[in-house]
A and B are shown apart, each in its own frame.
Chain A
Amino acid sequence: MKKKTLTMAYTARVFVAVFLVVAVAWQAEAVITGPTGITIKQACISMPDGAVSTPVGTACPADTIKMWLPADSTAVPPATGLLAPGSFVITADEGDSLTINLSNELAIPVSVVIPGQVLTPNNGPVWFTDIAAPYTSTTFSGIRPPGNVTSRVRSFVHETPAAGGPVTYTWPNLRPGTYLILSGTHPSLQVQMGIYGVLIVRAAGGVPYAGIPAPNQEVTLLFSEIDPAIHNSADDTAMVAATPTIPSTNVFYPKYFLINGKAFPGNNPIPIGAAASTTLLRFANAGLDTYVPLLQEQSMQVIAEDAYLKPANLMFNRYSVDLHAGKTFDALLTNPAAGYIPLYDRRLYLSNAAQAPGGMLTYLEVGGPGPNTLTVTTNGGSGTGKVAAESLPGGIYCDSAVVGSDCTQLYLTDTQVKLVGHPNPGSLLDGWNGCDAVTAANDCIVTMNEAKNVIANFKAFNAVRLVTPNGGESIASGSFYTVTWGAPVNAVKFRLRYSLDGGTTWIIIKKDITGNSFNWAVPTVRGNKTNVKVQVTGYNASGVAVGTDVSNATFSIDVVTVTSPAAGSSWSSGVGQAFVPVTWVANPAAGVVKAIVIDYSKNNGTTWLPITTLDNTSGLYNTGGTYNWQIQPTVPSNKPNSFVRVTLKDAGGNVIARDRSGKFTITP
């Protein structure tokens, strides 16, 4: 059994050279891969794409979240060594001796443990004596002295001190399997803050476990979550202050849910090789809660749990695993035909805070990467924003203003992609170029059967402007209508009002609205209202109004709309002639419709002749109807100024609403 120990005794450049030489010399033998010289650093992460950056001073930029991340100690320059959650992976072989040399830039001590592997020597645990000052009170290591009943454990193992290291942690004689690498100090906070990674140990011969043939490919699926409130309030210097502030994960409301450090739609499909080949899925959960990864529509054979190989007759086929905190599972999948297999958390943590879709959703790509490139740009207009692919299999999270943004993806042929525009504050999505179709929700659909280019046009708003309804719309009474507006960046809250009298008096719809749209429950009215306007007012963070806008022209809220006969149509009169379909649509009204009176005019509405009265006691015509009218008597000459009128009346004979058709001609 070989014992290989890699230490960081050399400078970075020398080490790299030695490593390369060592790798070449030992290429026939197994080598520990991955960074084993680690420094814990402050970092910032953005969601959902998991992009990692270094803080400016001690502060993370707005829209990013503070993390404590491992970094490769050998990186030059050092800032490039930060290891995003999910990218800290070490691989080794059964029987190897692994040493991690841990350094620390935080103001609090850290350590490292690998549950399931035996740290030898372990000079911990480290106890502290004053529960009010876990990081600054007296500490001691080893067994609790007799009679001491008040000290508590801070670290399971020996520590790397604040602003200190490197300290050596060695696991001799590794066992095969999938393992989590975690901070062993105050783990409820430090692991949550980002000090986690994965160790993969292969059995002799390079197989996952003895008796399991090597798969064609392997994928690691590391699950974790982020509670940004806890992260952004965690201040390591405040934790060692004279009166310390110690954050707690007891009140835990995670907002971001990650697979390999990213959330949908900030992630790309994961290639798993060709159809019919074998893939080993290594699941691990570094988070604080249980997740249930579910492999849609496929069965995987679960061969190991917590790095213990199951007996052959207990390797059940399942479509999901119960991935509790700290757990690992290994499962074999026989790849199906080429395509994308969704893999998602069946506990449905599938949003990024209040934004869906998002969260723990990814896709395994079989037979990829596909020949068709989709290229997206977001700078088609005066404003800015992001475009995300929000359908199977994701793969685009693009902001042309950001260097390195994910604006291209290769797709298998005939993949239909839905691109959704997300305007930045101060902008609104105006439209698209290059789509095969645009949906009613203004999303872009492209069918990837060749290379496609899509441009998203965002429009900048330097004033508050109502976009819809802006005039001319016909909105059904009692329906939901999406009011949309654009506003400059400083407008953060909005108030909507509507007017039934063209803007003289206003009725509140809602205030304290955030975002750029609102689903307005249009009131049920009595009679078609044709003089309606909407007003939007924007307020800044201090509650001061910074702009207001009103519909450019009036729109209508309709209770009844006559849709047939159509304007310009022509109908013959007399017995035996074709029936004219009088069709109307009715929406909820303020009032109970008891009867529908249908009449017509041949003289431009001056006088009206009866056609029929329909009884609506049963509610048969509540949503409208059609009456087939045979025009009698025959007219002597063409009547080109004819209308049909539908009137809804209540039990007392009063008019609730009425509408007339377009102008048509009655012929003899």
Chain B
Amino acid sequence: MNNLMRRKSLLTGVVLLLVLSIPPVTGAYDIPGITGPVFNLTTGTGHVTTGDGNSVYMWMYGVQGGIAQYPGPTLIVNQGDIVDINLTNTLPVPTSLVVDGITVTAVAVAGAILPGVLTGEVPADNGTTTVRYRFLASQPGTYVYHSGTNPPLQVEMGLLGVIIVRPAGFDPVTSRFAYNDIESGYVHEKLFLLTDMDIRVHDAVQKGNYTNIDFTDYHDVYWFINGRTLPDTLSTTGAPWLKNQPYDAFVTMNPGQTILYRMVNASRDPHPMHTHGNHHRIIARQGRFLSAGAGADLSSSAFTTVVYPGDTVEAIMTWTGVGIGWDIVGHGDDVDNPPLGDFPGPGDIDNNNDGILDTCAAQPLEPWEDPADHCKLFPVKLPGAQDLTFGQFYGGSPFLGALGALPPGEGGFNPWGGFFFMQHSHNEKELTNNNIFPGGMATFLVVISPSTLIVQ
């Protein structure tokens, strides 16, 4: 692996084609979705792919005229909107739509509505009936929508999605907030929609048997973030080989940037979501900002948050490396800025033997850098390459933004020299795809040096 790097001063425009196939994009990123406030959705069938190569039959929401997708389209509206979701139905059974935590009225605007257990339903009439599900988006936040008809079957089969209500005054460039409070501000925004799956249900429905399934005998074997299992969680949004699963879960950031995690659980089991690498600050739950009047003063920090079925949690995540105990940029070890990973090099001298290279003090702090660790040497002498085994996410150097020499075939998943942190369900059996490890409800956050352009 070469010491390939992108420098701000040299916009070489080299696109690295990798297993991960991340296309380059700059700037703050948002959760992909469609904007309203009127949405025309329908139901359809199709398949999703799991990380063990399986293909699972699904019932899914989709935009009318588009493809059915899992999860359903993320609907993005503004506080104060009257939101209309017009739903038609091509499934062989009636279906419907409810939103956990929001009052929704259901009216037939074409055809005839059926009374259901949670709301009015769209009959199985192949598009003849349209039911308008209307609600007032009075509170900003994140919400789950799902079928209200035979939920153990239809939610399992994939009829679920997320609604995001942006606060009044939100602006995608200048005012990026989750709630009407400055302490809910963020740079990047990422969705973690958690779902689980019992494949036997999908097999039975594909064979036409959806009336005799015993849901009390539930045994899930697949776990998803945003409709994909690991490693597909790392592929791009809109990857053509995952056409029914358009949303990715790969998180990128520069140190010090804040990410708003919208953690949502749309299915049956609680999931403890672990943001390895740093705490996250939970600022809202179930669409309510945790404040007693002075900002997010009722927020709390955790590195694992249990998201219950139907629950939504907004948490602010950041990473600075504070307290790590050594200079993660490698200022101390390598005077080149950014480091070339060739310590000791011609410019690296400690003249007064104080453990800090003479030129280090002259190097400015990064804005996010912990002054206490500036210039501190890497605490161990790395063994030689022949005494190490390598993970695929190791770039060859322990320093942020640096790559190092690796034996042929090693590494390869870390072209930026970033730090990878798994963001995953800490219910460890959920890190499998139908009993095959690794897989399941997991994705990665990669912290990338600011000299590298963010790719999302």
A interface list, Cβ under 8 A from B: 253-255, 257, 264, 290, 292, 294, 296-299, 313-314, 316-320, 322, 336, 342, 344, 346-351, 353-354, 356-357, 361, 390-392, 394, 416-418, 439-440, 445, 480, 514-515, 517, 519-521
User: Which chain B residue has the least Cβ–Cβ distance from A336?
Assistant: B103
A480 and B152 within 8 A (CB): no
User: Which chain B residue has the least Cβ–Cβ distance from A357?
Assistant: B117
CA distance A439 to B208 in the complex (A): 20
CB contact list, B249-300 vs A, under 8 A: 267-270, 285-288, 290, 292, 298
Interface of B is mostly: loop
A348 and B151 within 8 A (CB): yes
A347 and B309 within 8 A (CB): yes
CA distance A344 to B118 in the complex (A): 9
Q: Across the interface, which residues of A come within 8 angstroms of B212, CB to CB?
A: 354, 514-515
Give the shortest distance, in Å, between A264 (CB) and chain B (any CB): 8
Q: Across the interface, which residues of A come within 8 angstroms of B208, CB to CB?
A: 480, 519-521
Give the shortest distance, in Å, between B67 (CB) and chain A (any CB): 17
User: Which chain B residue has the least Cβ–Cβ distance from A513?
Assistant: B212
Give the shortest distance, in Å, between B205 (CB) and chain A (any CB): 10
Q: Across the interface, which residues of B come within 8 angstroms of A521, CB to CB?
A: 207-208
Q: Across the interface, which residues of B come within 8 angstroms of A314, CB to CB?
A: 298
11 contacting pairs across A/B (C-beta < 8 A): A318-B286, A319-B100, A342-B117, A344-B118, A348-B215, A348-B268, A351-B215, A392-B116, A439-B114, A519-B208, A519-B211
CB contact list, B308-322 vs A, under 8 A: 308-311
A346 and B101 within 8 A (CB): no
Give the shortest distance, in Å, between B215 (CB) and chain A (any CB): 5
User: Which chain A residue has the least Cβ–Cβ distance from B293?
Assistant: A313
CA distance A354 to B102 in the complex (A): 30
- Which of B117, B124, B215, B288 sits near A391, CB closer than 8 Å? B117
A353 and B310 within 8 A (CB): no
- Which of B153, B217, B286 sits near A356, CB closer than 8 Å? B153
Interface string of B204-236 (1 = CB under 8 A from A): 000111111111110000000000000000000
Instruction: Count chain B CB atoms within 10 A of each CB in A348, A394, A514 and give the residue with the most.
Output: A348
Give the shortest distance, in Å, between B161 (CB) and chain A (any CB): 16
**B104 at the A interface (CB under 8 A):** yes
A254 and B117 in contact (CB under 8 A), knowing A297-B101, A318-B288, A521-B207? no
Q: Across the interface, which residues of B come within 8 angstroms of A351, CB to CB?
A: 152, 214-216
Instruction: Count chain A CB atoms within 10 A of each CB in B117, B123, B217, B288 and give the residue with the most.
Output: B117
B103 and A297 within 8 A (CB): yes
CA distance A517 to B209 in the complex (A): 11
**B40 at the A interface (CB under 8 A):** no
User: Which chain B residue has the least Cβ–Cβ distance from A253?
Assistant: B217
Give the shortest distance, in Å, between A521 (CB) and chain B (any CB): 5
B100 and A254 within 8 A (CB): no
CA distance A418 to B96 in the complex (A): 15
A350 and B152 in contact (CB under 8 A), knowing A292-B309, A316-B285, A320-B311? yes
Q: Across the interface, which residues of B come within 8 angstroms of A298, CB to CB?
A: 103
CA distance A565 to B98 in the complex (A): 43
Q: Across the interface, which residues of A come within 8 angstroms of B310, CB to CB?
A: 292, 294, 319-320, 346
Q: Across the interface, which residues of A come within 8 angstroms of B27, CB to CB?
A: none
**B150 at the A interface (CB under 8 A):** yes
- Which of B115, B216, B290 sits near A392, CB closer than 8 Å? B115
Q: Across the interface, which residues of B come within 8 angstroms of A394, CB to CB?
A: 117
User: Which chain A residue has the least Cβ–Cβ distance from B215?
Assistant: A351
Give the shortest distance, in Å, between B92 (CB) and chain A (any CB): 6
CB contact list, B79-129 vs A, under 8 A: 92, 98-104, 114-119, 123-124
Give the shortest distance, in Å, between B14 (CB) and chain A (any CB): 41
CA distance A391 to B115 in the complex (A): 6
CA distance A322 to B153 in the complex (A): 22
* CB-based closest 10 A-B pairs: A391-B115, A313-B292, A319-B101, A346-B310, A297-B103, A416-B115, A354-B214, A346-B309, A519-B208, A348-B152
CA distance A344 to B150 in the complex (A): 12
**B155 at the A interface (CB under 8 A):** yes
CA distance A622 to B287 in the complex (A): 47
CA distance A519 to B210 in the complex (A): 8
- Which of A357, A392, A440 sits near B150, CB closer than 8 Å? A357
Q: Across the interface, which residues of B come within 8 angstroms of A344, CB to CB?
A: 118
A392 and B119 within 8 A (CB): yes
Give the shortest distance, in Å, between A358 (CB) and chain B (any CB): 9
A322 and B270 within 8 A (CB): yes
Give 12 new A-B contacts, CB below 8 A, not counting A320-B310, A356-B153.
A253-B217, A294-B100, A297-B98, A297-B103, A298-B103, A316-B286, A319-B286, A320-B101, A346-B100, A346-B308, A350-B151, A439-B123
Give the shortest distance, in Å, between B333 (CB) and chain A (any CB): 47
A342 and B211 within 8 A (CB): no
A320 and B288 in contact (CB under 8 A), knowing A346-B309, A418-B114, A439-B114? no
Instruction: Count chain A CB atoms within 10 A of each CB in B153, B208, B209, B270 and give the residue with the most.
Output: B208
User: Which chain A residue has the least Cβ–Cβ distance from B119?
Assistant: A392
Q: Across the interface, which residues of B come within 8 angstroms of A392, CB to CB?
A: 115-119
B117 and A390 within 8 A (CB): yes
B118 and A347 within 8 A (CB): no
Q: Across the interface, which residues of B come within 8 angstroms of A347, CB to CB?
A: 268-269, 309
B115 and A296 within 8 A (CB): no
Q: Across the interface, which residues of A come within 8 angstroms of B119, CB to CB?
A: 392
A353 and B308 within 8 A (CB): no
Q: Across the interface, which residues of A come within 8 angstroms of B288, CB to CB?
A: 299, 316-318
- Which of B102, B115, B150, B267 sits near A297, CB closer than 8 Å? B102
User: Which chain A residue has the least Cβ–Cβ distance from B118?
Assistant: A342
CA distance A342 to B106 in the complex (A): 15
User: Which chain A residue has the least Cβ–Cβ distance from B150?
Assistant: A356
User: Which chain A residue has the least Cβ–Cβ distance from B124?
Assistant: A440
Give the shortest distance, in Å, between B427 (CB) and chain A (any CB): 13
Give the shortest distance, in Å, between B75 (CB) and chain A (any CB): 17
A349 and B216 in contact (CB under 8 A), knowing A296-B98, A322-B270? yes
A353 and B211 within 8 A (CB): no
Q: Across the interface, which residues of A come within 8 angstroms of B118, CB to CB?
A: 296, 342, 344, 392
Q: Across the interface, which residues of B come within 8 angstroms of A418, CB to CB?
A: 114-116
A320 and B100 in contact (CB under 8 A), knowing A313-B298, A348-B309, A354-B212? yes
A353 and B214 within 8 A (CB): yes
CA distance A320 to B266 in the complex (A): 13
CA distance A349 to B211 in the complex (A): 16
Give the shortest distance, in Å, between A255 (CB) and chain B (any CB): 5
User: Which chain A residue has the least Cβ–Cβ distance from B306?
Assistant: A322
CA distance A203 to B118 in the complex (A): 36
A519 and B209 within 8 A (CB): yes
B92 and A480 within 8 A (CB): yes
Q: Across the interface, which residues of A come within 8 angstroms of B115, CB to CB?
A: 391-392, 416-418, 445
B101 and A299 within 8 A (CB): yes
Give the shortest distance, in Å, between A115 (CB) and chain B (any CB): 22
CA distance A363 to B429 in the complex (A): 36
CA distance A520 to B115 in the complex (A): 27
- Which of A296, A313, A439, A517 sits near B211, CB closer than 8 Å? A517
CA distance A483 to B267 in the complex (A): 33
User: Which chain B residue has the least Cβ–Cβ distance from A311?
Assistant: B292
- Which of A290, A318, A357, A416 sits near B285, CB closer than 8 Å? A318
CA distance A361 to B117 in the complex (A): 9
Give the shortest distance, in Å, between A646 (CB) and chain B (any CB): 22
Q: Across the interface, which residues of A come within 8 angstroms of B270, CB to CB?
A: 290, 292, 322
Instruction: Count chain B CB atoms within 10 A of each CB in A297, A349, A351, A520 and give the residue with the most.
Output: A297
Instruction: Count chain B CB atoms within 10 A of each CB in A351, A390, A445 and give the residue with the most.
Output: A351
Give the shortest distance, in Å, between B83 (CB) and chain A (any CB): 14
Q: Across the interface, which residues of A come within 8 angstroms of B211, CB to CB?
A: 517, 519
Q: Across the interface, which residues of B come within 8 angstroms of A439, CB to CB?
A: 114, 123
CA distance A297 to B102 in the complex (A): 4
A292 and B308 within 8 A (CB): yes
CA distance A292 to B115 in the complex (A): 24
Q: Across the interface, which residues of B come within 8 angstroms of A313, CB to CB?
A: 292, 298
Give the shortest distance, in Å, between A275 (CB) and chain B (any CB): 14
Q: Across the interface, which residues of A come within 8 angstroms of B210, CB to CB?
A: 519
